[in-house]
């Protein structure tokens, strides 16, 4: 049998765990990858308590320091006892046992015959010629099986006693040494052998409660062998691939801990609102390094293993900044363009689509700046109609939303309101792209940049060449709007969680039925994205983005910028300078009948789109019947009383004085009042006429009568 040297054995030692390290080398998570054995890192002899070294030598090899690998005196005594058919302790020395441990084939076969014992003795003699006694003892203690799956002194000490080997006392050392001879023996046998060992060492006074200590130690409930804090378990499962691996990431250990604690603290405050899960991702804008990856709320969750950073969830209003940015870049809109926030109904292949604002009221004519900052739904849908769903979907793909694999028409108008599923990972990098003047680049999670946390579909955040996803001019306008606390005051107030004392741009979002809420935003240096919800998909109870995700976003963003007394520097964030092609102009909004205009302000424009005065289009130019839509088919329900089956007649804009409805050429009521028509089976034509009886719009639709139920 060929024997390796000590350095080779120590270098080949592989713990069953792998370690995830922060950027400074601090362990932040472990993952057990070898399930066949429980093994921890190699422990130098100097870090093993003398009590254990002494107990092992007394138990296994009293003349270890005197023999040259084989204890001939013990071997002779053993042979004589065997001839007399008497049971005796084995004569294998530590050197012989170590030789057996180093022989993989012997371990596999469990060989015990005389010839193999002689081969083992010869190997021990050779071992002693090239190894020191300390090296032999150190290697033996690190390789020997102690109990069950626990192999080596570190795993034994942590697993049974919950401490490192240098902390074992004499009782614990005696129990550990007794296990070497019979690793799976019962409590009574182990305690009896340990007591005999203590008597042999003249420490019999320690026997009086040894059986109780043994019972507590060997009860079957193992301590957690590795005590590394599990700060990033989801990222560990994605990155660690081999036992013994120690992988350095880009994560900041202090930030990772703070982000996780902040998320859990805010979720506890929402414990009566049916919400238990969340995730946080923090990136460095310039480098793309991921500084924090909190995949779940841990013990608060019923599904703690689900990674909320990569899970696909409905995006809500967090996609609106990209929609308006594309409209700005195409010069379909300026930040001062007026969009009417009024009831809207659109015909689709699946029926009618009638978007509603988060608040039930409508604000009339508002600027694109206010519409985006206040997160109004109807203006966003109107902007999508102008831009086109396919172009929006393709633009989102450029921002890294590679989970949007269907065409824009497949998603429909609801894509403007975030009906598509995206990951927090993709969302964070898309907002980072806005922070970087519209230039997308890949993220990085490891110090060497070679390992990606995920592979395959919907994981493009870590792969791809840098690209310009949006013009710098349009990105600047979007960021300026998302940082404008006055523009969002109508929905969020002047002093909301988004109103930081430094420059930052942020947007919240809430998905249908409050299943998800988000807050994503960036300062000059950092991007922070937060998701709050339930991994099960259950709805929350009245938890919006500003109430759920935004407080976590704000606390993490504040932590990044404020610095501390421990040496973390304060980081400033001032408003970015406008890029070439953006100009400022004072703009005034002409008053509209019955509506207060937005106050004059200094507004940013793409060069060539400047306006000093902004006025709404005339009502006649925008008048359109929004419901019923052209081609609508309406079915009457025979189980509902006819008087309760009235059809609302709706406009896409406010009606002017004197406007009337005409149904099949007959008056059907005033258009400036709520009108509900009693439907009759058949085909109908609804027209809108002004005070001069001029037809402004008309639609055709059909009403069908269904047979009554038997």
Residue with tokens 């009638």: 354
Classify burial at 490, counting beta carbons within 10 Å of its beta carbon; exposed 0-12, middle 13-18, buried 19 or more. middle
- Contact between residue 690 and residue 618 where contact means Cβ atoms under 8 Å apart: no
What secondary structure letter does DSSP report for 608? T
Q: What is the enclosing helix (H) or strand (E) of 96?
A: helix 94-102
For residue 278, the cross-strand partners are: 532
CATH 2.60.40.10 domain residues, the chain: 619-705
Tell whether the torsion through CA atoms of 601, 604, 606 and 608 is positive or negative. positive
Q: Cα separation of 157 and 165, whole Å?
A: 6
What pLDDT shows up at residue 88? Answer: 47
pLDDT at position 594 over 70: no
pLDDT tens figures, 194-246: 999 999 999 999 998 899 999 988 876 566 656 788 999 999 999 999 999 99
| Helix count and strand count (H, E) for the chain | 23, 29
Cα angle vertex 335, ends 334, 338, to 5°? 80
Identify the residue whose tokens are 């996609």.
Answer: 319
CA pseudo-torsion sign 46, 48, 51, 52: negative
- State whether CATH 2.60.40.10 applies to domain 619-705: yes
Just give the CATH number of 6-217.
Answer: 1.10.3810.10
Quickly state the pLDDT bin for 593 (edges 50, 70, 90). low
**What is the location of CATH 3.40.710.10 in the chain?**
257-562
**Which residues lie closer than 8 Å to 433 by C-beta, 6 or more apart?**
399, 400, 439, 440, 441, 469, 470, 475
Across the range 9-31, mean pLDDT stands at 95
Angstrom distance (rounded) from CA 354 to CA 651: 12
Look at residue 341 in the predicted model and tell me its pLDDT: 86
Region 545-552: mean pLDDT is 90
pLDDT tens digit sequence for 173-193:
999 999 998 898 999 999 999
pLDDT attached to residue 130 = 92
pTM of the model: 0.82
- End-to-end, the C-alpha distance of the chain in Å comes to 91
pLDDT of amino acid 347: 64
Domain with CATH 1.10.3810.10 in the chain: 6-217
User: CATH for 257-562?
Assistant: 3.40.710.10
pLDDT at 271: 86
pLDDT attached to residue 40:
92
Give the span between the Cα atoms of 357 and 1, in whole angstroms.
79
DSSP 460-528: GGGSS--EE-S-HHHHHHHHHHHT-TTTTHHHH-SSSTT--SS--EEEEEE-GGGSEEEEEEE-SSEEE
In the chain, pLDDT over 90 holds for what percent of residues? 63
The pLDDT of 61-72, averaged and rounded, is: 85
Name which residue leads in pLDDT, 527 or 114.
Answer: 527
pLDDT band at 400 (very low <50, low <70, confident <90, very high): very high
Average pLDDT, the chain: 88
As a whole number of angstroms, the distance between CA 449 and CA 287 comes to 11
**Residue keyed to tokens 């182990």:** 190
Cβ within 8 Å of residue 103, ≥6 positions away: 1, 120, 123
Q: pLDDT > 70: what percent of the chain?
A: 90
Q: Tell me: the pLDDT tens digits for 506-547?
A: 999 999 889 999 999 999 999 999 999 999 999 999 888 788
């Amino acid at each position: 049998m060929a024997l390796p040297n000590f350095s080779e054995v120590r270098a080949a030692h592989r713990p069953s765990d792998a370690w995830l390290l922060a950027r400074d080398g601090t362990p932040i998570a472990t993952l057990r990858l070898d399930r066949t054995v429980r093994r921890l890192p190699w422990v130098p002899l100097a870090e093993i308590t003398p009590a254990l070294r002494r107990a092992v030598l007394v138990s296994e090899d009293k003349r270890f320091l005197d023999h040259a690998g084989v204890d001939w005196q013990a071997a002779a005594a053993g042979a004589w006892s065997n001839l007399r058919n008497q049971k005796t302790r084995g004569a294998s020395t530590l050197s012989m046992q170590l030789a057996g441990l180093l022989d993989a084939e012997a371990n596999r076969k469990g060989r015990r015959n005389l010839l193999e014992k002689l081969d083992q003795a010869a190997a021990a003699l050779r071992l002693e010629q090239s190894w020191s006694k300390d090296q032999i003892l150190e290697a033996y203690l690190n390789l020997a099986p102690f109990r069950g799956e626990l192999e080596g002194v570190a795993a034994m000490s942590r697993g049974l006693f919950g401490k490192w080997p240098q902390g074992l006392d004499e009782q614990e050392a005696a129990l550990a040494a007794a296990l070497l001879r019979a690793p799976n023996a019962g409590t009574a046998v182990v305690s009896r052998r340990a007591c005999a060992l203590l008597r042999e060492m003249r420490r019999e006074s320690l026997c009086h409660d040894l059986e109780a200590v043994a019972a507590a130690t060997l009860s079957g409930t193992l301590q957690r062998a590795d005590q590394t804090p599990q700060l990033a378990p989801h990222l560990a499962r994605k990155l660690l691939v081999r036992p013994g691996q120690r992988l350095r990431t880009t994560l900041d250990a202090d930030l990772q801990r703070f982000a996780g604690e902040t998320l859990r603290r805010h979720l506890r405050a929402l414990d009566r609102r049916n919400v238990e899960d969340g995730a946080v991702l923090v990136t460095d804008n310039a480098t793309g390094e991921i500084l924090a990856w909190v995949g779940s709320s841990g013990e608060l969750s019923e599904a703690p293993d689900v990674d909320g950073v990569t899970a696909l969830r409905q995006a809500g209003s967090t996609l609106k900044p990209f929609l308006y940015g594309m409209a700005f870049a195409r010069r379909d809109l300026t930040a001062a363009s007026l969009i009417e926030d009024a009831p809207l109904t659109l015909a689709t292949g699946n029926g009618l689509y009638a978007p509603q604002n988060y608040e039930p009221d409508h604000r009339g004519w508002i600027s694109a700046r206010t519409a985006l900052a206040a997160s109004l739904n109807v203006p966003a849908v109107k902007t999508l109609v102008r831009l086109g769903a396919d172009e929006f979907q393709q633009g989102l793909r450029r921002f890294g939303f590679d989970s949007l694999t269907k065409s824009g028409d497949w998603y429909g108008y609801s894509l403007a309101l975030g009906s598509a599923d995206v990951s927090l990972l993709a969302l964070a990098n898309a907002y980072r792209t806005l922070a970087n003047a519209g230039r997308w680049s890949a993220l990085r999670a490891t110090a060497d940049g070679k390992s990606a946390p995920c592979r395959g579909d919907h994981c493009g955040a870590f792969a791809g060449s840098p690209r310009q996803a949006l013009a710098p001019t349009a990105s600047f306008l979007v960021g300026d709007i998302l940082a404008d606390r006055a523009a969002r005051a109508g929905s969020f107030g002047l002093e909301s969680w988004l109103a930081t004392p430094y420059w930052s741009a942020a947007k919240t979002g809430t998905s249908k039925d409050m299943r998800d809420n988000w807050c994503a935003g960036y300062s000059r240096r950092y991007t922070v994205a937060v998701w709050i919800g339930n991994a099960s998909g259950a709805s929350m109870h009245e938890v919006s983005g500003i109430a759920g995700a935004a407080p976590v976003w704000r606390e993490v963003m504040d932590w990044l910028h404020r610095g501390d007394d421990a040496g973390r520097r304060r980081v400033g964030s001032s408003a970015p300078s406008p890029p070439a092609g953006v100009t400022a102009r004072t703009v005034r909004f002409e008053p509209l009948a019955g509506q207060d205009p937005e106050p004059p302000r200094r507004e940013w424009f793409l060069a060539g789109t400047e306006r000093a005065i902004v006025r709404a289009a005339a009502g006649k130019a925008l008048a359109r019947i929004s419901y019923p839509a052209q081609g609508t088919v309406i079915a009457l329900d025979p189980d509902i009383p006819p008087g309760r089956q009235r059809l609302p007649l709706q406009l896409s804009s406010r009606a002017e004085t004197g406007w009337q409805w005409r149904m099949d050429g007959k008056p059907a009521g005033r258009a400036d009042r709520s009108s509900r028509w009693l439907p009759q089976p058949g085909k109908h034509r609804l027209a809108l006429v002004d005070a001069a009886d001029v037809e402004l719009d008309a639609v055709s639709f059909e009403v069908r009568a269904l047979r009554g139920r038997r």
